[in-house]
Structure formats: C-alpha cells, structure tokens
Amino acid sequence: MNNRPKLVPFSLLLALPLAMVCSSANAVPLNVVNPGFEDISGENPSNQFTFGPLNGWDLYDPENITGGGAGNTFFIGTLTPFVPDPIGNPGVYENFPDGAPEGQRLAIAFNFQGSDGLGEYGLVATLADTLAANTVYNLQVLVGNIASAGSFDLQGLPGYRVDLLAGGVVIAQDNNSLFGSIDDGEFVNTSISLTTGLAHPQLGQTLGIRLVNLNQVDPDFPASDLEVNFDDIRLDATATIPGNFDQDHDVDGRDFLIWQRGFSDLFNANDYADWEANFPAPPQFAASTQVPEPTTLGLLFSMAWIMVSFRVSREDSR
C-alpha cells in the first residue's frame, strides 16, 4: 500500500479562478440607495415608466445627449414590465416574461435606432462608504436584454458597462463581457471583485457605482432600438487577513504573486511586510522598493510548493 500524500502542483493552484477560493462568509453589505429601483416617490410615473433622475441615482451623461433622461430620443428611468388588462382580465408581462428579477421595477437606459454612436450614458450612484485598505469588494449587478413588444424592435443588445468607482475613478469594471450571452427577455448576473492592500491610490475616496449603455449598434440587429436594463445592485466588503491578497483564508505563494504583479500600482513595501509577517515560513529576503528577481521568485515557488501541498486521497497500490 502506498500511503504517500498526493501533491497538487502549485502551478495548478495558481490557475484556479479567484471566485473559487474567495469566501463571502464575513462580507458586509454596503448601503446602495434604491438598489432595485423600487422607490419612485416624487417621480412622475407614465404608464409602466418613470423618466429622469431616480431616487438614489444621478444621470451619467458625459456627452450631454440625454436631455435630462426624458428627451425625445434618450430615456433613462424605470420600468414595470407588467401590463394590466384594462377590463380586468389578467395582465401580461411584456419585455421580460418572468417580470422584474427583484421587486416590481427595473432600470432602463433607452435610445431610438439611429442615435447610436453619440456617446455612452446611464446612471451613477454615490455611496456613503469610502475605499478601505485590506478589503475585498464584490459588486453584483443583474444586466438585462429587453425583448421586443408592441411597436418597439428591441432585438440585440447595444453593449453595457458596469463600473465600480472611488473618487469618481474607475477601480474595477465589467466592460460588456456578457455581450452575446444574454437572451432576449432575460437577466444575467455580473460580478466584479477588487482587493485592496495598503497602497491603492484611491484609498479613502468615496465609492460609487455606474451603470452604462454603451450605445453601440448590435451588428446582428442594426435596425433595432437600443436599450440596456439593470436591477438588484449589491456591493459588499470583506476585511482581509493582512497579506492574504486573494482571500483564500491563508497567506501563501499565490498572495506573493498578486503583490508582485500589483506592486507600485496597488501594493507597496508595507503590504509585502504584512505578507512576510503572516507567511508561515517567510523567505529570508527583505521588503524593498525593488520587485524580487526571478531567482528569488523561483526559490519562493519551491517553498510555496511545500506549503500548499496537501493530502487529497490515499490509493491502494497492488
């Protein structure tokens, strides 16, 4: 019988997606005002719609093209996809057969065909929280691809972007990664993660969330109107173990690689000191303003191999 532990190659562990090792057990939800666009108090409903600035959200219109979100061509607001029957029969869900994925309403960013290419636009929220050190942020947003209904041809998707901001600066984003994968009348969740150390340039700056219609014609549906929908905005924060940059509950060689790749932009020598202090058997080289040479990194790999090896099973050998 062979009782030797089977080892998992360190290179394989490095390839594991961050989402597979990241835990949200200690995540703290941050307050996003009107995250599901349900609060329309003080707004002016028109049938199933409201147009213009939303409670908790401002218009994002860098090219000044939307006419305040309720112009003749561009419309930013909310939609209840349920249409009641005027004579009392059961109503129908138009555009989204399952209705709004959260609550009754969802956000819309719409413009008519032929107004593409004039610039991106959408919604932006400013939070009360600021970007903190040694924290993992996870932003989740439902992105919708509205189905055609009535006289509106809404096939395809004009592209979207979701930005996590600090001090108005983009610190993480999903730039249209779901394009082509959201069926008409469906929502799909996008998740954006960011881990801070001690040296992120936007530390202490106010957090924000931006939801964008890229206003680009879907080449498969060039005659369609252009609309993107959003719902159920969630942002949480998880404090990290100092030096544990990938949030997998330990400090190891993977964290060193993340530190090295983000050195000077996201991390500094103090972050390395945190890693060294919490690494079970830190290598004997000092933190400095120099990124370690490949020979040192090779030594670290060898040590990390030993640290992350573990027993996964025992097999009988005959």
pLDDT tens per residue, range 263-311: 777 788 888 888 888 887 444 333 344 444 444 544 555 454 444 444 4
CA distance 90 to 73: 32
* pLDDT of 24: 43
Q: What is the pLDDT of residue 142?
A: 98
Do 67 and 51 form a contact (C-beta atoms < 8 A)? no
Q: What integer pLDDT is reported at residue 235 of this predicted model?
A: 98
In a domain, 175, yes or no: yes
- pLDDT value for 33: 98
Say if residue 124 is in the same domain as residue 166: yes
Lookup: tokens for 291: 């990124």
- What pLDDT was estimated at residue 118? 94
| Domain assignment present for 2 | no
> Which of 239, 271, 287 is the last residue in one of the domains?
239
Task: Answer yes or no: do 261 and 173 share one domain.
Answer: no
State whether residue 15 is helix, strand or coil: helix
User: Do residue 155 and residue 294 come from a single domain?
Assistant: no
pLDDT at 253: 87
pLDDT for the residue 124 = 98
Q: Are residues 90 and 184 in the same domain?
A: yes
Same domain for 143 and 198?
Answer: yes
Q: Do 284 and 147 reside in the same domain of the chain?
A: no
Task: Compute the half-sphere exposure of residue 34: CA atoms within 13 Å on the CB side of its CA.
Answer: 21
Determine contact, residues 135/100, Cβ cutoff 8 Å. Answer: no
Question: What is the rounded CA–CA span in Å between residue 192 and residue 184?
Answer: 23
Which residue range forms the structural domain that includes residue 273?
A: 10-18+246-308
Indicate whether 45 and 125 sit together in one domain: yes
Q: How many CA atoms lie within 13 A of 186 on its CB side?
A: 10
* Predicted pLDDT of residue 220: 93
> Which of 239, 254, 283 is the last residue in one of the domains?
239
pLDDT of residue 8: 38
**What's the Cα-to-Cα distance from 85 to each of 9, 95, 101, 102, rounded to whole Å?**
62, 16, 22, 22
Q: Are residues 294 and 171 in the same domain?
A: no
Write out residues in the chain with pLDDT < 70, as ranges. Answer: 1-25, 85, 247-249, 281-318
> Is residue 215 situated within a structural domain?
yes
101 and 192 fall within a common domain: yes
Helix %, strand %, coil % of the chain (to 5): 15, 30, 55
Name the domain count of the chain.
2
Rounded CA separation 130/222 (Å): 41
Residues 191 and 74 in one domain: yes
Distance in angstroms (rounded) separating the CA atoms of residues 41 and 52: 13
Give the model's pLDDT for residue 280: 75
Tokens 């961050």 correspond to 18
> Given 239, 263, 294, which residue is the final one in a domain?
239
**Predicted TM-score of the model (pTM):** 0.74
